[in-house]
Chain A
Amino acid sequence: MSQTMTAPAGQRRRERRFGIFSLLVLAIMLGVFATSARGEQATFVLNDARGQLFELPNLVVTVVPAVLVLSAVVAVIAYRQFTTGFGSKAVIVVGVVALLFVMAFLTWAAAGGQLSVVGLLRGSLARATPIALGGLAGVVCERAGVINIAIEGQFLAGAFTAAVVSSLASDPWIGLLGGIGAGVLVAFMLAGLTIRFKADQIVVGVVLIVFATGVTSFLNTQVLSGNPELNSPTRFTAIAIPVLSEIPLIGPVLFRQSMLVFGMLFAVGALHYALFKTRWGLRLRSVGEHPKAADTVGINVLATRYKAVLLGGVFAGIGGAWWTLDAVGQFSREMTGGRGFIALAAMLVGRYSPVGAFGAALIFGFSDQIATSLQLLRVPVPSDLLLTAPYLVTILVVAGLMGRLRPPAANGKPYTKE
C-alpha cells in the first residue's frame, strides 16, 4: 500500500550500498586529493569584480589538512552506514557525502591557485536554466500522462528558431517568441501523434529528436553558414536588480542574471503552485493518474493532455532559446549536447515536481559549470574528461540515489473512451 515503506532487509542492503559509495569517495579523497595537490594552499575568491556593498575576505585553505578533515567526516559516516544506518535520512546523508567530496575536490583543484566561488555559482544557476526549463516541460507533460522524451528536439528547434528570428528582428524578445513557437510546434507534433493517433510515445519522441536534429543541422549548413547575418541574434543581457545585486556573494549569483534565468525561476514557482494548489493542476494530475476517473466526472482527458503538452513546448522552447539568446549567441550544430536528456533525468530525480526538477537541475548545472571553471584552473585532468562531468553525474545520480520512483499511474498510456 505505502510506497515509502521499505523492508528492513532491503533498507539494510541499500544503506550498505551507500556505505560502499562512501568508501569509494573516501579512497579518492585520501588517495588522490590528499597526496597530489599542486600547492599548499587553495584560495577561494568570494568577491565579484563588479561593485558590491562591502568586500569579503578571500577564503584561504591549507589543502592537506582540509582534505583530511573532510575525509574523517566521510569515514565516520561510512562507519555508521555499515553499522546502524541512517534510516529515513539515508539519502540526505549520501547527499552530504557527495557535498564533502565536492568540497575536497575543489580544494585540491584550486591548490596553488584561485577559484572564483561567485563565478562557479553564478555559472551553475545559468547552466541549470535550460535543464530546469526542460524539466518543467517533462513534468507538465508526464503529470498529464504523456511521456515527452523529445525535449532535446524541442531545445534544438527552439535554439535555432530563436537565433534566426532574433537576428532578423534584432530583438531578443521576438526571438524568444520564435523559440517558443518552435518548441510548441514540436510539442504539437508529439501531441497529435500520441494523443490523437495513439502512437507509441517513446517512438514518437525519438523520431522528433532525430527530426529536429536533422532539420536544424541541415538548415544550419545550407542557410546559416552562407548567411551569417541570420545567425547573429541580439542577446538578452544580464540585468542587475538594484541594491540586491550588490549584496556580496548572493547578489551577483541570484540578482545579476539574464531575463531567461529570472523567467525560469518564476516558471518553477508558478508551475509548482499551479500543479499542486489550483483546480487546473488537480484536473491535470487526475488525467495523468486515472484518466477514466477524470472522464467520468466530466473532465476532457484528451484536451487536457493536448494543452499540457503544448505548455511543455513553451517551457522547452524557452529552454532552447537560452543557448542562442543567452549563453552562446550563435546557433551551431547539435549545440544542446544532450541537455534535453539531462532535463529528463532532472525531472525523474525531482520526482515529477517542478521544485524537485529545479533542484536536480542545479546539481547538473553545477557539474556543467565545474567542468568549465576547472579548465581555467588548468587542473591536471584532460579537458575532454572534465567535460563529461555532467553526464557522469547524471548517471551516478539517476542510478544510485533515485531509489524507487512512482510515476503518474497512467503515464505513457494513450486514453481511449470505448
Chain B
Amino acid sequence: MRLELQAITKRFPGVVANDAVDLVVESGEVHGLLGENGAGKSTLMNILYGLYGADEGQILVDGQRLELDDPGDAIDAGIGMVHQHFMLVPVFTVAENIVLGVEHTRRLGKLDRARASTEVAALAERSGLPVDPDALVEDLPVGIQQRVEILKALYRDARLLILDEPTAVLTPQEADDLFDAIRAFTAEGRSVIFISHKLREHRAIADRISVLRRGRIVGTADPRTTSEQELANLMVGRPVELSVSKPAATAGDAVLAVAGLGVENALGGRVVEDVDLTIHAGEIVAVAGVEGNGQSPLVRAITGLQDIAEGTVHIAGRAVKGATRKQVLRDGTGHVPEDRGSEGLVADFSVAENLVLNLWDAEPFARRGTLQFAAINAHARELVDAYDIRTPSIATTAGSLSGGNQQKLVVAREFDRPIDLLVASQPTRGVDVGSIEYIHTQLVAKRDEGTAVLLVSSELDEVLALADRVAVMFHGRLVGPFDTPISKEAVGRMMAGADPAEVLGTPPGGDT
C-alpha cells in the first residue's frame, strides 16, 4: 500500500503539533519516523489512525483521498496501529482482544470463541508470532502483549502497520524477533511506519527515514548512507555528543555502605540476597543486569521504600533501617525512580508543584503550614530554564508533558540540591537522544560535585558509558563492582549468570 500525507497540520492550544507535514510511504517499505519526544510523531500517527482530526491537509492511500472520522475508517482502509500504550483489555483473552470489533457470532449473537481461537492460532502460526489464543492478556509478558497488538492489526488485514515505539518495552532478543516479523510483513508488499528514537534500530530495519523536529519534517535520510551521528544532529537540530566525555573519578570517603543486605518480596521470597556494596563520594557505580533480577528491590531498600529483611544500609553513616522515607531523602539522598509515571511525579500536579515534591514543607517553599507559591514558582522557572524542560508553562500538569520532559523534570528536582547520594534507576528510559545526552552530562556533573552515584540501568551502553565501576545483578545476587574499563562482552556474560572468575580470569575484586 502506498500512503501519502500532504501538508498535514494539527494545532493544540498553545502548540502546533504538526506543521504542514508531507510524508510518502511506498509499498513494501519500512519507513522510519525519527524524532525527539514531543516532536509530533504520535500526533501524526493518531491523525493517520483517525483518532485525531487534522486541521489541514489530506491523506491519500494508493492515490485515493481518504476521509478518516474514527479508527474504524482507518481499519477499513487497511491501516493498523500498534500503540505505544497497548490497546488491549487485560482481563480478556488473546483471542477476545484480537477479534474485538470484528467478532464472528452464531445464533443469538453468541460469540464463536472456538472459531476465534482457531483463526488466531492459525494467523499467529502464519505470521511467525506464536501466542496462546486462550491466555489472559494480563498474564503475558509485555513482549507477547505486543505480539497480540500486531496480530490484532493483521487479523484486520492491515496493509500498512504503524508501530509506535515498539521496542521501548522489549528485550534485545524480543526486538530481533519483532524485526523478523516486520521483514516478513513487508515482503508481501505491505508497508510499515516504524517510530523510534533509537538510531541503531532505524539503521537496522528502516528503508528510509524521515526526521521530525518540532512538528516539521526536517529531512529524509537513507539509513545505508547516513551515520547515527548525522541522524542525531538532524533530529535534535544541533551537533549532539553521542558518547559521554568524563574525566577520571576522584573517589572520596565511602557514602553508601550496604552490608549483607537481604530483601524479601510480598510472598516472603528472597529477591535480594547478601548484597555488599560500597560507593564513595565522587564516583558512579553502575549496576547492570537484565530487568527483574533484584535491581528494583535493591534500590527500594536503599532509599527506604522497602523493608530490609537482613543486613544493613548506611548512607553517610546514618542507618536507613528505622528511618522514615522522608528522613532518608531529607538527609541527602536523591532518587530518580525507574517508573516516573507511578513514582516520579504526580501527573495531575503542575510542573511547579512537582518540582518541590521533595521539599514541599521546607523553607522557603512552605512557611507556617502554608505553601509559598511565589517561592515555588520562582524555583520552578529557574529549574525549567536550567534543565531545559520543554513545557508551555510552569502551571502545565506534569502528565501532559512528553516522556523525555517528564524525566527531565524528575532529574531537575532530584539533582538540584546538595546531596550525598544519588540513586538513579533507568534514568533515560523512554527518553530521546537529546535528553539522554543532557541527563548523562548532569549525572557526571553531579559526580564531579562529590556526590556518590548509584546508577541502575538495563541499557548496557549506558552503564559502560557512565560507570567508574560496574557491578552486575543476577538472580538477586550482586557481583562486583569491577573497575572500568571492562568489556561489554564480559558484562553481558555476567548478566546471563556467568561466573566472574571465569569471565575476567581473576577473582571478583574491587569491593573496597
A residues with a Cβ closer than 8 A to B are: 1-2, 5, 7-9, 274, 277-280, 282-283, 285-286, 289-290, 292-299, 409, 417-418
Contacts and interface: CB of A to CB of B under 8 A. Distances in A.
Interface string B140-160: 000000000000100000000
5 contacts: A1-B138, A8-B267, A293-B87, A297-B101, A297-B152
B161 interface: no
A39 B138 CA distance: 58
A292 B139 CA distance: 20
Contacts of B114: none
Contacts of B72: 297-298
The 8 closest A-B pairs by CB, nearest first: A298-B72, A297-B101, A293-B87, A278-B109, A289-B89, A279-B103, A7-B266, A296-B71
A282 B88 contact: no
A298 B109 contact: no
Given A7-B266, A9-B268, A297-B100, A278 B87 contact: no
A141 B72 CA distance: 25
Contacts of A8: 267-268
A290 B88 contact: yes
A298 B100 CA distance: 9
A298 B101 contact: yes
Contacts of B52: 418
Contacts of B103: 279, 282
Interface in B251-302: 266-268
A255 to B, nearest CB: 26
A293 to B, nearest CB: 4
B51 A278 contact: no
Interface in B209-241: none
Contact of B89 (A9, A290, A418): A290
B111 A279 contact: yes
Contacts of A279: 103, 105, 109-111
Contact of A290 (B49, B51, B87): B87
A5 B101 CA distance: 32
B77 to A, nearest CB: 12
A177 B88 CA distance: 40
B498 to A, nearest CB: 29
B208 to A, nearest CB: 27
Main secondary structure of the interface of B (DSSP, over half): loop
Task: Give the size category of B's interface with A.
Answer: 20 to 34
Nearest to A278: B109
A278 B109 CA distance: 5
Given A289-B91, A290-B88, A277 B51 contact: no
Given A8-B267, A277-B111, A279-B110, 13 more contacts: A2-B139, A7-B268, A9-B268, A278-B109, A278-B110, A283-B101, A286-B92, A289-B91, A290-B87, A296-B87, A297-B71, A298-B71, A418-B51
B102 interface: yes
A281 to B, nearest CB: 8
A296 B74 CA distance: 9
Interface string B146-189: 00000010000000000000000000000000000000000000
B100 A278 contact: no
B381 interface: no
Contacts of A280: 109
A297 B81 CA distance: 10
Contacts of B267: 5, 7-8
Interface string B55-97: 0000000000000001110010000010100111111100011
B139 A1 contact: yes
B248 interface: no
B108 A289 contact: no
A352 to B, nearest CB: 11
A418 B267 CA distance: 41
Given A8-B267, A277-B110, A277-B111, A296 B49 contact: yes
A297 B108 CA distance: 22
Contacts of B268: 7-9
A366 B95 CA distance: 41
Nearest to B97: A293
A8 B268 CA distance: 8
Contact of B87 (A9, A274, A292): A292
Contact of A294 (B90, B100, B109, B138): B100
A418 B400 CA distance: 13
B111 A282 contact: yes
Residue of A277, A282, A295 with most partner-chain B CB within 10 A:
A282
A278 B101 CA distance: 12
A298 B91 CA distance: 19
A409 B138 CA distance: 12
Contacts of A277: 110-111
Contacts of A295: 51, 70-71
A374 B49 CA distance: 65
A113 to B, nearest CB: 50
B87 A299 contact: no
B75 A286 contact: no
